[in-house]
Chains A and B, each alone.
Chain A
């Protein structure tokens, strides 16, 4: 099975690996897992005062496609509003990386991770507003 160049590039040179301070109020953290394959993925966003995502980090323990999917998402969300970031679909990720059918679930994991990070950020800001 041949993997696409984009996929291999993200796997070999993953962007934005690392962690942000999860207790910080402007950081949203999404932690998701695919128990069938034992993968675990953490994706974090830092939202600026202007409402734009100024930084994104990820840490993924899983297969190459899961690493590439989360790496790609961190790259895509930077500079976007959270509403825009929320519209990222797993099908876009799968298409961009040309994921083989058996690896589509890795892109699902990445979509769920960004959604979870956004939900966490929103819950924090809602709490602050109270």
Chain B
């Protein structure tokens, strides 16, 4: 069963977080270990498997980027997994230059400005995914998602850099 089906939601890029939360919390109650304490071992085991799968589904679908990557994989887009390297000079050059820029940013303001730019970029790219999925353009979906992963990593690094700057200024 895929993550969408598990939560009784349509497999789609756009997901209302409120309905996701509702579906998750209802099912979580249903499979909660406390309700199975007095049940036979087989049922207890089933409940813990269900609960784990449910958490996994929720985690994957809650974040827009991981949801998009998951949906892409469901749609047959092959994403490079752990340990796979990519050779996309344009993307890598962009990522390298962005990271150098972040590395050189000496003030919290400079880091914030870079982070804000990347957040906008991510938002626009995530919005643009819808039409790529509609068109079923797998290479374009893959390319866009790989770029989003690098933007996401950049945002994470910008947060870390921000914290370091704050710490050193105290």
Contacts and interface: CB of A to CB of B under 8 A. Distances in A.
A56 to B, nearest CB: 17
Nearest to B93: A31
A112 B82 CA distance: 14
Interface string B123-165: 0000000000000000000000010011011101100000000
B81 interface: yes
Contacts of B96: 31, 40, 42, 59, 61
A35 B93 contact: no
Given A40-B95, A61-B99, A35 B150 contact: yes
A104 interface: yes
B91 interface: yes
Given A33-B150, A42-B96, A61-B96, A112 B85 contact: yes
B92 interface: yes
Contact of B150 (A32, A38, A42, A108): A38
Interface of B: 79-89, 91-93, 95-96, 99-100, 103, 146, 149-150, 152-154, 156-157
B25 to A, nearest CB: 30
Interface in A15-49: 31-40, 42
30 contacts: A31-B89, A31-B92, A31-B93, A31-B96, A32-B92, A33-B86, A33-B91, A33-B92, A33-B95, A33-B150, A34-B83, A34-B86, A35-B79, A35-B80, A35-B86, A35-B146, A35-B149, A36-B80, A36-B82, A36-B83, A36-B149, A38-B152, A39-B153, A40-B99, A59-B100, A61-B95, A61-B96, A61-B99, A104-B83, A105-B84
